[in-house]
Amino acid sequence: MGWKSFEELKSWQLSRNFASKIYMITNQNIFKDIDLQRQLRRATVSISSNIAEGFERNTDKEFIHFLFIAKGSAGEVRSQLYIALDLKFISEVQFNEMNESVTEISKLISGLIKYLQKSNLSDTL
């Protein structure tokens, strides 16, 4: 790996920033479902946490595993954003901004997975 810490990873940086935005949005009085609020927060925090945990495992194989979990959490967040929009807990503008952000994070994670898989493949040849 070419990184010294998970803090250098763009996917982690963006997911950290995204979590702050989700906390601000779910703190609004209009966000009335506490269970959805908690689940959205947990899934959002799971993205950056799994990137960090996987990185700290110090093997590409385990890192890839945790990146897949982070990517799954990003999908979970997207699904929950649709529910929050349907229930009018968030505006369409907020939804579009958050959905675009988490989709970008998911794409970065996918790219990192592909990079690590390719580098693992070349290590075994």
The domain spanning residue 64 has which CATH number? 1.20.1440.60
Q: Span 78-106, mean pLDDT?
A: 97
What confidence category does residue 17 fall into, taking pLDDT thresholds of 50, 70 and 90?
Answer: very high
Total domains in the fold of the chain: 1
Distance of CA 33 to the CA centre of its chain: 22
Query: Per-residue pLDDT for 2 more than 80?
Result: no
CB atoms within 10 A of CB 125: 4
User: What gap in Å lies between CA 65 and CA 71, rounded to an integer?
Assistant: 10
pLDDT for 58 equals 85
pLDDT for 99 equals 98
The chain-wide mean pLDDT, for the chain, equals 93
Query: Would you say residue 1 lies in a domain?
Result: no
CB atoms within 10 A of CB 105: 27
Query: Would you say residue 107 lies in a domain?
Result: yes
Domain hosting residue 59, numbered range: 6-124
Give pTM, 2 decimals.
0.91
What confidence category does residue 112 fall into, taking pLDDT thresholds of 50, 70 and 90?
Answer: very high
pLDDT for 123 equals 53
pLDDT for 19 equals 98
User: What gap in Å lies between CA 54 and CA 96, rounded to an integer?
Assistant: 29
**What confidence tens digit (pLDDT) does each residue in 18-70 have?**
999 999 999 987 888 899 999 999 999 999 999 999 999 989 999 999 999 99
| Segment holding 83, helix H or strand E | helix 60-86
Query: Would you say residue 59 lies in a domain?
Result: yes
Here the tokens at position 41 are 């927060």
pLDDT for 30 equals 81
